[in-house]
Amino acid sequence: MVHRLGAIASEISYPFSHSSYYDAEMGAGLTKSLWAFAKPVARERIVDMKRYAVKLEKKYSVDGKRRVNIDPGLLTPENFILGTGKNFTHRIYLGRGVFADLTLTYRKGEGYCALPWTYRDYMTDEVRAFLENVRNAMGNG
């Protein structure tokens, strides 16, 4: 598949059963997908990517309710961050309404590790293994 950011190199999809946060807006039985693009994206593009994601969410909304929730992330050799529009104590403001959420850190011998605020689905072995495989494919194994 080819997307605005280029070809998707790998992806993982799983039932989003770790939270009922989106049920009222999107309904139950959601599926979550993570995509890794073949071409690296510069870290500073996270602000533009999140702002574009918000435009897509609005474009596909029905009666003011989102049908998709898109949170772009950046996987680096040392961590995994998500771009978000919501502030919280551990999030760093990047500008133009976008915050960086440090979601996982990488530790040699342990792989990507959760933090106290990490969303539960990112703590799963399945997601962490996917991110580890992407990291290795980037030449960081």
Q: What is the DSSP string of 19-74?
A: --TTHHHH-SS-EEEEEEESS---GGGHHHHHHHHHHHHHHT-BTTB-S-----EE
Q: What is the pLDDT of the chain when averaged over all its residues?
A: 94
Q: Are 5 and 13 in contact (CB under 8 A)?
A: no
Which residues 6+ apart lie within 8 Å of 72 measured at CB?
46, 49, 50, 53, 82, 83
* pLDDT over threshold 70, residue 1: no
The confidence band for 141, taking pLDDT boundaries of 50, 70 and 90, is: confident
Type and span of the H or E element at 8: strand 6-15
Give the number of other CB atoms < 10 A from CB of residue 130.
19
Query: Would you list the domain boundaries of the chain?
Result: 42-140
Q: What is the pLDDT of residue 3?
A: 59
Find residue 93's DSSP bridge partners: 99
CA atoms within 13 A of residue 102's CA, in its CB half-sphere: 12
What is the share, in percent, of the chain residues with pLDDT greater than 70? 97
* pLDDT over threshold 60, residue 2: no
Residue pLDDT, tens place only, 55-103: 999 999 999 999 999 999 999 999 999 999 999 999 999 999 999 999 9
Residue pLDDT, tens place only, 94-137: 999 999 999 999 999 999 999 999 999 999 999 999 999 999 99
Joined together, the tokens standing for residue 84 give: 């978000």
Joined together, the tokens standing for residue 51 give: 């702002």
Cα–Cα distance measured from residue 138 to residue 141, given in angstroms and rounded to the nearest whole number: 8
